[in-house]
Amino acid sequence: MFGFWWQWQFQWKLSRLKDPRYSFLFETVPDNEVVCFDCETSSLNPKKAQLLSIGAVKISNNKILTSQKLELFIKPTAEIDHESIKVHRLRHIDVENGLDVDEAIYKFLDFIGSRKLVGYYLEFDVAMINKYMKPLVGITLPNQQVDISGLYYHKKLYHYPAGLPHPHIDLRFDTIMEEMGLPVLGKHDAFNDALMTAMIYIKLLNGWTAKKIGEYA
């Protein structure tokens, strides 16, 4: 049923694409390639937030291609929320010479092509891209999407006894990195977050075994 629904959405979006230059978004997905990405925004409300930066990196055959990365800064048209500055450390002065948001979206689409998209709590980042993408090309992202928080959650539950209520699982980014023994890159920005997401994704798909619930040793 899910496959049918996805195919229907895929064809529906293709029929509504108003810029034929971006028909490549619907081409066959390259074998064993995905794009990990992250966005930084002016607030945590996707309806009101502006894009401030986009970071992305490609994975091919379980290798992170740091030579094929995308790091864009976007010029805001309004003030940046003080609470969001505490998270991403981007002030208005840091991005005032950035790209116009339309140009950034076009560069992002050119970079990702038809590849599967991977992220951490990806729904927010996809909503931000879609918000600016749809007026430009007539559709939202048609790419398949994978959220690493969901993959991690299911790994944690794998050995949990069936039939019992599901326990609380800490899905904070730094917690996931720590349990998986991955280095936390110091600077919190869109590209570093995309890079760390890529590290998590590769390890999740390649035999990493989660500690059992309640096992801390």
Domain map of the chain by residue range?
32-204
Number of Cβ atoms within 10 Å of the Cβ of 9: 12
Average pLDDT, the chain: 86
pLDDT for 95 beyond 70:
no
Residue 81 confidence (pLDDT): 56
Spatial distance between the Cα atoms of 65 and 68, rounded to a whole number of angstroms: 5
Q: Quick check: 197 pLDDT over 80?
A: yes
The answer on pLDDT for 109 being more than 50 is yes
Q: Which DSSP string do the residues of the chain spell out, in sequence order?
A: -HHHHHHHHHHHHHHH---GGGGGGGSPPPTTEEEEEEEEESSS-TTT--EEEEEEEEEETTEEEEEEEEEEEB--SSPPPHHHHHHH---HHHHTTSB-HHHHHHHHHHHHTT-EEEESSHHHHHHHHHHHHHHHHSS---S-EEEHHHHHHHHHHTTSPTTSPPPP----HHHHHHHTT-PPPSS-SHHHHHHHHHHHHHHHTTT--PPPTT---
What proportion of the chain, given as a percentage, has pLDDT over 70? Answer: 83
pLDDT-wise least confident of 90-99, 127-136, 170-179: 90-99
Q: Please check the confidence at residue 9 and state whether its pLDDT lies above 90.
A: no
**Beta-carbon neighbour count of residue 187 at 10 Å?**
9
Compute the average pLDDT of residues 56-66: 96
| Fold assignment, 32-204 | Nucleotidyltransferase; domain 5 (3.30.420)
Q: What is the pLDDT of residue 210?
A: 76
For residues 11 and 120, the model is more confident at 120
Residue whose tokens read 């920005």: 189
CA 179/CA 202 separation, integer angstroms: 15
Beta bridge partners of 119: 147
Say if residue 217's pLDDT is above 50. no
Between 116 and 42, the more confident residue is: 116
Q: pLDDT tens for residues 129-172? A: 999 999 999 999 999 999 999 999 988 887 676 777 777 889 99
Q: What is the pLDDT of residue 216?
A: 41
Q: Read off the pLDDT of each residue in 19-26 and give the average, rounded to a whole number.
A: 93
